[in-house]
Chain A
Amino acid sequence: MRWILLGIVVATNVASDGLQAREMKRHGEISDFRAGALKRTFFGLAVRPGLALSILCMALSFFAFIRLLQISPLTFAVPATAVTYIGDAVFARCVLRENLDLRRWAGIFFIAAGVVLIGR
Chain B
Amino acid sequence: MTPTTAPAPTAFRLRIVLLSALMILANVSGNFSLSLGVKAAGSGSHFPLLNYLGQPALVLGVALLISALLVRLALLSAAEMSLILPLNAGFGYILTTVAGVVGLKETVHSVNNVGLALVVFGVILIGLSAQSRRTPGAGR
Contact = CB atoms under 8 A, between A and B. Distances in A.
A25 B83 CA distance: 14
B122 A92 contact: no
B82 A24 contact: no
Given A24-B73, A88-B86, A114-B117, A30 B126 contact: no
Contacts, number: 135
B111 interface: yes
Interface in B66-109: 70, 72-74, 76-78, 80-83, 85-86, 89-90, 93, 97, 109
Contacts of A115: 89, 93, 115, 119
B123 A24 contact: no
A111 B76 CA distance: 20
B7 interface: yes
Label chain A's interface by main secondary structure.
Answer: helix
Interface in B112-140: 112, 114-129, 132, 139-140
Contacts of B5: 28-29, 31
Chain A interface size range = 35 or more
Nearest to A21: B81
B82 A117 contact: no
Nearest to B120: A114
A103 B6 CA distance: 26
B82 A111 contact: no
Nearest to A18: B81
Chain B interface size range = 35 or more
A71 interface: no
B138 to A, nearest CB: 9
Contacts of B125: 103-104, 106-107, 110
Given A98-B82, A107-B126, A113 B76 contact: no
22 contacts: A25-B77, A25-B139, A25-B140, A27-B77, A29-B5, A30-B77, A42-B70, A92-B81, A96-B81, A98-B82, A107-B121, A107-B125, A108-B86, A110-B121, A113-B122, A114-B118, A114-B119, A115-B93, A117-B112, A117-B118, A118-B116, A120-B109
Interface of B: 5-7, 15, 70, 72-74, 76-78, 80-83, 85-86, 89-90, 93, 97, 109, 111-112, 114-129, 132, 139-140
